[in-house]
Structure 1
Amino acid sequence: MKIALLGYGKMGKTIEKIAIERGHEIVIRSTGNIKEQDLLLADVAIDFSVPTAAFENITGCFKSKVPVISGTTGWLEDYGKAVEICKSEDGSFLYASNFSIGVNLFFELNRNLAKLISPFREYEVDIEEIHHTQKLDAPSGTAITLAEQIIDNSSKKGWQLDNAGEDEIKITAKRIEDVPGTHTISYRSPVDTIEIKHTAHSRQGFALGAVIAAEWIKDKKGIFTMKDVLSIG
């Protein structure tokens, strides 16, 4: 499979290594906006660029009829617009805030725990995420996904970074050197605390999941998530 890497930072280079190990070829390594004609060299594109380039990269793939998966966060105000363009171009698109197989299993655990605890109003929930100091956005896309899952399955109305109201989930974002990603959900009552936690040991899990998603989406049409890739739910 011929892969275009849209974004060639640390994650892009880790994806490249895993893709080559799995027998694929990297035909494009882009650090900025990609030209649509260049995309014709690829069977599939993997976007881990920057928020300011993501929308143009992704929609360029739709127009070039190249399936694209994206793990770039910080651009999601334009996600709905990207989906509409994908549909109009009969394209293929998979966005995930996190491609790690472990994190996607953690998402399911988080959703189910929120449902179980929802009737017990004595528990207050908060989220803590820790990432490396080079991460540009805060909170992480993964933390936002976790918060949105809890909101969909509880009485909470929204989330806030650092300072949250009574009907909101507090998210704390910490930036520490060389931390690939740690997410903790805590439910606290006057008598006990329930916690679930995912700790990434390296970028390998994120990168492997992205390559698996790229392998899966090739030759498919439509809008997908990692639940489709992993046959969850």
Structure 2
Amino acid sequence: MKIAILGYGRMGKTIERIAIERGHEIVYKTSEPINITELKKAEVAIDFSIPTAAFNNITTCFKENVPVICGTTGWLEKYDEAVSICKANNAAFIYGSNFSLGVNLFFELNNKLAKMMSKFNEYDVEVEEIHHTKKLDKPSGTAITLTKGILENTSKTDWKLIENQEKVDSKTIPVVAKREDEVPGTHTIKYSSEIDEIEIKHTAHSREGFALGAVIASEWIKNKNGVFTMKDVLDL
């Protein structure tokens, strides 16, 4: 398969290596505005760029009939618009806040635990994420997906990014975002009561899992049209 990589930073380089190991060809890679002629050589594009570039990258691919796998976070205020453009062009799109197999299993575990905990109001819930200092958006897209999973399965109605142990009301989920050197990504969900705590946690040891998942999604989306998620790819 011929792949374009949009955003050739650390993740882009890891994706390149894994894609080549799996027998694919990288026909275009860039961190600059898209060259349409080069993009058209690709059968699929993988976008791990930056929040300010993602929407234009994605919609340009749609208009050129190149399927898109997007792992860039921090641009989701335009997600619905991107979906509309995808459908209007009969294109193909997968956005994932996190492409690793382990995190997608963690998403499902989070949803099931939230549904169980919804019956027990004596527990407060908190979401914490830790990433490397070069990550631009805060909180992470993965943390937002986890938080939405809790909102959909409990009586909580909102979430708030907090600092310095700020207090929130009982209907709001506090989200803590930390930035530390060389942390690929750690996400923790904690339910606390006066007598005990229940905690689930996912710790990434490298970027390999994110990159592999993005390449697998690229293999899956070939010759498809529509808007999908990693749940479709992994049949979860």
Question: Quick one: distance in 2 between partners of 1:33 and 1:119?
Answer: 50
> Which residue number corresponds to residue 107 of structure 1?
107
1:225 aligned to which of 217, 226, 229:
229
- Look up the match of 2:67: 67
CA distance in 2, matches of 1:147, 1:129: 11
Tell me what 2:14 maps to.
14
Instruction: Give, in angstroms, the shift of residue 190 of structure 1.
Output: 1.0
Report the 3-state secondary structure (helix = DSSP H, G, I; strand = E; otherwise coil) of the residue aligned with 1:38. helix
1:160 aligned onto 2:164: no
Q: How does 1:69-84 map to 2 (within 5 A)?
A: 69-84=69-84
Matches within 5 A, 1:104-143: 104-143=104-143
SS in 2 for 1:42: coil
How far does residue 169 in structure 1 lie from its aligned partner after superposition?
Answer: 0.5
1:10 alignment partner AA: R
Count of residues in Structure 1 that have an aligned counterpart in Structure 2: 232
Distance 2:115 2:93 in 1: 29
Say whether 1:28 aligns with 2:28.
yes
Alignment of 1:25-64 (within 5 A): 25-64=25-64
Q: Is the 8 A contact 1:45 1:69 kept in 2?
A: yes
Instruction: Say which SS state the counterpart of residue 139 (structure 2) adopts.
Output: coil
Is the contact between residue 180 and residue 200 of structure 1 (CA under 8 Å) also seen in structure 2? yes
For the residue of structure 1 that corresponds to 2:4, the secondary structure is: strand
Distance 2:39 2:99 in 1: 22
In the superposition, the TM-score normalised over structure 1's length comes to 0.98
> Counterpart of 1:159 in structure 2: which amino acid?
W
Quick check: 1:132–1:175 contact (8 Å CA) kept in 2? yes
In the TM superposition, residue 63 of structure 1 has moved relative to its aligned partner by 0.5
CA–CA distance in structure 2, aligned partners of residues 168 and 193 of structure 1: 18
Letter in 1 for 2:221: I
Letter in 1 for 2:209: G
One-letter amino acid of the counterpart of residue 222, structure 2: K
Partner secondary structure for residue 194 of structure 2: coil
Aligned to 1:88: 88
Runs of 4+ residues deviating >3 angstroms = none
Question: Which of 168, 186, 190 lines up with 1:182 in the alignment?
Answer: 186
Q: TM-score, normalised by structure 2?
A: 0.97
Q: Aligned residues: percent identity?
A: 66
Cα distance, 1:99 vs. partner? Answer: 0.2
User: In structure 2, how many angstroms separate the alpha carbons of the residues matched to 1:37 and 1:62?
Assistant: 14
Deviation larger for 28-37 or 6-15: 28-37
Tell me how far apart the structure 1 counterparts of residues 223 and 127 of structure 2 sit (CA, whole Å): 38
Code of the residue aligned with 1:101 in structure 2: it is: L
1:213 to 201, 213, 217: 217
Task: Kindly indicate whether the alpha-carbon contact (under 8 Å) linking 1:4 and 1:46 is maintained by their aligned counterparts in 2.
Answer: yes
Offset at residue 229 of structure 1 (A): 0.2
Q: CA deviation at 1:3?
A: 0.3
The answer as to whether partners of 1:36 and 1:63 remain within 8 angstroms in 2 is no
Q: How far apart, in 1, do the equivalents of 2:70 and 2:15 lie?
A: 12
User: What runs of 5+ residues in structure 2 fail to find an aligned partner?
Assistant: none
Provide the C-alpha distance between the structure 2 equivalents of 1:203 and 1:154, rounded to a whole number of angstroms.
32
Amino acid at match of 2:201: K
- Equivalent-residue separation in structure 1 for 2:192 and 2:173 (angstroms): 12
